[in-house]
């Protein structure tokens, strides 16, 4: 074992100890901060691990614990009994992917701080391998055509929320306007503050992939990505970029925020593609 990998192993062990003690602690936010500190320190040592397989394995081990962090954060935000695991009803049978459970509420998950934007602030740039570079405001998106889709939502931190009704414009319709070039195979979708994710063009252009401004009949709440978010219901939630600002078409797959940190490039919940190598 190299020094760096031993250091990472030691940091992960400490993080696991902190995590185990967490239920006894009264300040979940402090636990989260401490865990985040240890994991980011571990991440800083990754580059120094010479062996590529070992480096990937350790990156995965760190990413798993970062995913767990989100669960700590959910606990902070929803109070003492957050992830109320509702027993699946008959209608939920066959709709909850492996390793997932139903959540009663609608957890809020993101890195950084939600921006204070209104519909007037929407400015979506569609660029890269397109014939027409677009800069679209909310009214432009509505003009392209609003649709509704009711879909389940699955977060990699293991909660699923069924029957979300999203209102927005189909990404496919936006891409038509942009005249996507034939060489384009993938896209990177970016959002506030420095978030991004990679998607294959076919996934991005699926019929139920929307740029959404309403959820369950109400304007999309700021914490859930309002005034505009991407919704990719058939993939894990981290692909559904909140406060979306850019769709960039590319002729190759370029990793986004979580994918760089060990999450899967595709992220199909039915195949449990949580982390790279799954
Ligand atoms: N801009 C931005 N979008 C984001 C994230 C983020 O950190 N920043 N987190 C993603 C993750 S991991 C999930 S599960 C969903 C959560 O959406 P919700 O907060 O509406 O439940 O948002 C996704 N979109
Ligand atoms: Mo997530």
Check if 107 has its Cβ closer than 6 Å to any atom of ligand 1.
yes
Instruction: With respect to residue 116, please indicate whether it lies within any of the assigned structural domains.
Output: yes
Domains in the chain, number:
2
What is the CA(238)–ligand 1 centre distance, in A? Answer: 5
Same domain, yes or no, for 173 and 205?
yes
Range of the domain at 163: 101-271
Picking from 77, 110, 141, the residue at the C-terminal end of a domain is 77
Same domain, yes or no, for 35 and 153?
no
Q: Is the pLDDT of residue 138 over 60?
A: yes
Q: Which ligand approaches the C-alpha of residue 243 most closely?
A: 1
Q: Is the peptide bond before 227 cis (omega within 30 degrees of 0)?
A: yes
Q: Which ligand approaches the C-alpha of residue 115 most closely?
A: 1
Instruction: With respect to residue 36, please indicate whether it lies within any of the assigned structural domains.
Output: yes
Residue 258 alpha carbon, nearest atom of ligand 1: 12
Same domain, yes or no, for 130 and 245?
yes
CATH number at residue 243: 3.90.420.10
Same domain, yes or no, for 155 and 253?
yes
Report pLDDT for 34. 85
Same domain, yes or no, for 151 and 224?
yes
- For 219-278, how does the pLDDT look when each residue is reduced to its tens digit (9 = 90+)? 999 999 999 999 999 999 999 999 999 999 999 999 999 999 899 999 999 999 999 988
Report pLDDT for 86. 41
Same domain, yes or no, for 107 and 42?
no
What is the CA(155)–ligand 2 centre distance, in A? Answer: 4
Alpha-carbon distance 183 to 196, whole Å?
21
Picking from 77, 112, 140, the residue at the C-terminal end of a domain is 77
Residue 157 alpha carbon, nearest atom of ligand 1: 14
Q: Which ligand approaches the C-alpha of residue 225 most closely?
A: 1
Alpha-carbon distance 156 to 153, whole Å?
10
Of 146 and 51, which is predicted with more confidence?
Answer: 146
Q: Is the pLDDT of residue 22 over 70?
A: no
Structure tokens at 1: 């074992």
- For 76-108, how does the pLDDT look when each residue is reduced to its tens digit (9 = 90+)? 333 333 333 343 445 677 889 999 988 877 888
Check if 238 has its Cβ closer than 6 Å to any atom of ligand 1.
yes
Q: What is the mean pLDDT of the chain?
A: 88
Same domain, yes or no, for 147 and 266?
yes
Summarize the confidence of residues 172-185 as an average pLDDT. Answer: 98
Check if 111 has its Cβ closer than 6 Å to any atom of ligand 1.
yes
Residue nearest to atom 5 of ligand 1 (CA): 110
Instruction: With respect to residue 88, please indicate whether it lies within any of the assigned structural domains.
Output: no
Same domain, yes or no, for 44 and 161?
no
Residue nearest to atom 19 of ligand 1 (CA): 108
Residue nearest to atom 16 of ligand 1 (CA): 109
Q: Is the pLDDT of residue 20 over 80?
A: no
Report pLDDT for 62. 84
Of 16 and 148, which is predicted with more confidence?
Answer: 148
Instruction: With respect to residue 96, please indicate whether it lies within any of the assigned structural domains.
Output: no
Same domain, yes or no, for 136 and 65?
no
Instruction: With respect to residue 244, please indicate whether it lies within any of the assigned structural domains.
Output: yes
Residue 109 alpha carbon, nearest atom of ligand 1: 19
Instruction: With respect to residue 278, please indicate whether it lies within any of the assigned structural domains.
Output: no
Q: Is the pLDDT of residue 137 over 80?
A: yes
Summarize the confidence of residues 167-182 as an average pLDDT. Answer: 98
Residue 156 alpha carbon, nearest atom of ligand 1: 14
The pTM of the full predicted model, rounded to 2 decimals, is 0.74
Same domain, yes or no, for 187 and 229?
yes
Taking CA atoms, 264 is separated from 63, 154, 270, in Å, by 10, 14, 13
What is the CA(198)–ligand 2 centre distance, in A? Answer: 14
Same domain, yes or no, for 109 and 238?
yes
Q: Which ligand approaches the C-alpha of residue 166 most closely?
A: 1
Instruction: With respect to residue 8, please indicate whether it lies within any of the assigned structural domains.
Output: yes
Same domain, yes or no, for 174 and 226?
yes
Instruction: With respect to residue 197, please indicate whether it lies within any of the assigned structural domains.
Output: yes
What is the CA(13)–ligand 2 centre distance, in A? Answer: 24
**Sequence-distant (≥ 6) Cβ neighbours of residue 233 within 8 angstroms:** 149, 151, 152, 153, 164, 166, 208, 209, 240
Picking from 77, 93, 110, the residue at the C-terminal end of a domain is 77
Q: Is 1 helix (H, G, I), strand (E, B) or coil?
A: coil
């Amino acid at each position: 074992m190299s020094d760096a990998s031993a250091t990472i192993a030691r940091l992960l062990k400490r993080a696991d100890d902190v995590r185990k003690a967490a239920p006894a602690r009264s300040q979940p936010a402090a636990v989260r901060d401490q865990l985040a500190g240890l994991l980011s320190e571990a991440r800083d040592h990754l580059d120094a691990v010479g062996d590529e397989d070992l480096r990937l394995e350790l990156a995965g081990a760190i990413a798993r614990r970062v995913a767990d962090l989100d669960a700590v954060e959910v606990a902070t935000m929803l109070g003492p009994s957050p992830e109320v695991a509702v027993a699946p009803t008959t209608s939920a049978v066959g709709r909850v992917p492996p390793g997932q459970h139903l959540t009663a509420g609608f957890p809020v998950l993101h890195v950084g701080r939600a921006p204070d934007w209104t519909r007037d602030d929407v400015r979506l740039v569609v660029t890269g391998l397109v014939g027409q570079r677009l800069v679209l405001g909310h009214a432009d998106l509505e003009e392209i055509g609003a649709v509704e889709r009711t879909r389940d939502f699955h977060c990699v931190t293991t909660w699923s929320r069924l029957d979300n009704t999203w209102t927005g414009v189909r990404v496919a319709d936006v891409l038509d306007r942009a005249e996507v070039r034939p060489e384009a195979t993938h896209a990177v979708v970016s959002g506030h503050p420095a978030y991004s994710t990679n998607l294959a063009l076919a996934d991005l252009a699926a019929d139920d992939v929307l740029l959404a401004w309403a959820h369950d009949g109400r304007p999309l709440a700021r914490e859930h990505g309002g005034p505009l978010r991407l919704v990719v219901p058939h993939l894990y939630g981290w692909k559904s970029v909140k406060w979306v600002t850019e769709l960039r078409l590319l002729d190759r797959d370029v990793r986004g925020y979580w994918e760089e940190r060990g999450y899967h490039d595709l992220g199909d919940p039915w195949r449990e593609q949580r982390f790279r190598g799954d």
